[in-house]
């Protein structure tokens, strides 16, 4: 029969096993990253392509990519519509297209399936305009003017989206965190006005990205929009981030904006207001020059691929504006829990064996 020294040693062995299992489990949990997402769902960080130095684009507010791959930019200043084609390696202006239209406050640029450029003359910082306008520059022929009216009073808007159906969607700029989504009530009149209907709203999860001229409010104010070349992804941007939504098979952009977006941080842009997609799925962002901080074009490769992988084919409900969505279980958690449980089980077995030895000593 074992002596008391042996029994105490066995008890200590069981206690050490239990303690070791608990300590190792805690260590593994604390050492694991706080948040982790599958690599395939995380778009790369923006890469600067070039700095915008041309004075005509100091107030860069719109980007669009033509069917031939040309990148076109627009400023929100001036007394006439002027679109400038850019060399994507240098940001130099290599071509210009104008129209004899005098916008009040042009804010965004989009391109329709037929190749026509659409200028969103929808800026209204003081919210005093009776009408806003869309200015259309078709591939051939004269430019067109379509005036619009909101059903619920004036709004400031800096984002224009056009999907596969060619119907324009205007998204307003609201510091409250909830943007209004509007589309025409029917075919566009020339010059109109054509009434708009409020078709939905758009809000974003909370963002910790920093940038832009208005501090934390910049994370919720919509300053631009874009639709991918294949019309399968639509994006809205704020001063700090781009938010990418998968478009449902119906092609309904308003329905897409009700879904859960993929966040693409665009940190530290002086005044980011421009957004576009290249044909290969790269996301382009552009910023105005602000003081000594020059605007630049930045690229996020494989953004469309990441958005499609992150979202279901049919949109799911988005969280309330500025709410923090529940974090998904990290992919490392099952392995950590399994390893920790195994360690604890081993400790329990060691303790049980020691106690079993003690009970046998009393027989």
Model pLDDT, residue 156: 97
Mean pLDDT of 29-49: 59
Looking at the predicted structure, is the pLDDT value of residue 31 above 80? Answer: no
CATH of 40-310, one of 2.120.10, 1.10.3470, 2.60.310, 2.60.120: 2.120.10
The pLDDT value recorded for residue 77 is 76
Question: pTM for the whole thing?
Answer: 0.76
Backbone angles phi, psi at 218, to 5 degrees: -65, -20
Nearest-angstrom CA–CA distance, 66 and 63: 10
Q: Identify which has the larger pLDDT, 81 or 346.
A: 81
Which uninterrupted H or E stretch holds 74?
Answer: strand 71-75
How many secondary structure helices (H) and strands (E) does the chain include?
Answer: 4, 20
pLDDT level of residue 344 (50, 70, 90 thresholds): very low
pLDDT, mean of residues 309-319: 64
- Confidence band for 208, pLDDT divided at 50, 70 and 90: very high
Banded pLDDT at 302 (limits 50, 70, 90): very high
308-322 average pLDDT score: 63
Q: What is the pLDDT of residue 94?
A: 97
Query: What is the residue-averaged pLDDT of the chain?
Result: 82
Query: Smallest Cα–Cα separation from 200: which of 175, 178, 174?
Result: 178
Contact 244, 236 (CB under 8 A): no
Mean pLDDT of 208-236: 96
Contact in structure between 271 and 213 (CB atoms under 8 Å):
yes
């Amino acid at each position: 029969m074992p002596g008391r020294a042996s029994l105490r040693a066995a008890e200590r062995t069981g206690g050490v096993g239990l303690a070791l299992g608990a300590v190792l489990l805690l260590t593994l949990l604390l050492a694991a990253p706080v948040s982790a997402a599958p690599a395939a769902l995380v778009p790369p960080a923006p890469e600067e392509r070039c700095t915008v130095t041309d004075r005509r684009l100091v107030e860069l507010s719109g980007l669009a990519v033509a069917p031939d791959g040309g990148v076109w930019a627009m400023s929100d200043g001036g007394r006439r519509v002027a679109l400038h084609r850019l060399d994507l390696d240098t940001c130099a202006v290599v071509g210009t297209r104008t129209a004899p239209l005098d916008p009040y406050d042009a804010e965004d640029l989009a391109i329709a399936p037929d190749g026509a450029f659409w200028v969103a003359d929808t800026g209204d910082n003081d919210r005093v305009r009776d009408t806003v306008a869309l200015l259309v520059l078709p591939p051939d022929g004269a430019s067109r003017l379509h005036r619009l009216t909101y059903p619920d009073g004036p709004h400031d808007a800096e984002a224009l989206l056009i999907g596969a159906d060619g119907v324009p969607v205007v998204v307003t700029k609201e510091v409250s965190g909830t943007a209004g989504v509007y589309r025409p009530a029917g075919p566009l009149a020339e010059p109109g006005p054509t009434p708009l209907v409020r078709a939905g709203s758009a809000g974003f999860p909370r963002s910790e990205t920093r940038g832009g001229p208005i501090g934390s409010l910049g994370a919720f104010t919509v300053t631009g929009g874009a639709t991918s070349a294949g019309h399968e992804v639509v994006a809205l941007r704020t001063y700090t981030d781009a938010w990418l939504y998968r478009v449902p098979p119906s092609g309904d952009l308003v329905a897409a904006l009700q879904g859960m977006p993929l966040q693409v941080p665009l940190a530290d842009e002086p005044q980011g207001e421009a957004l576009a997609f290249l044909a290969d799925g790269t996301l382009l962002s552009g910023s105005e020059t602000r003081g000594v901080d020059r605007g630049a074009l930045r690229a996020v490769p494989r953004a469309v691929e990441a958005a499609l992988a992150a979202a279901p084919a049919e949109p799911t409900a988005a969280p309330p504006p500025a709410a923090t969505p529940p974090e998904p279980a990290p992919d490392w958690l099952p392995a950590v829990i399994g390893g920790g449980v195994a360690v604890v089980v081993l400790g329990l077995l060691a303790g049980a064996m020691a106690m079993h030895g003690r009970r046998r000593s009393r027989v």
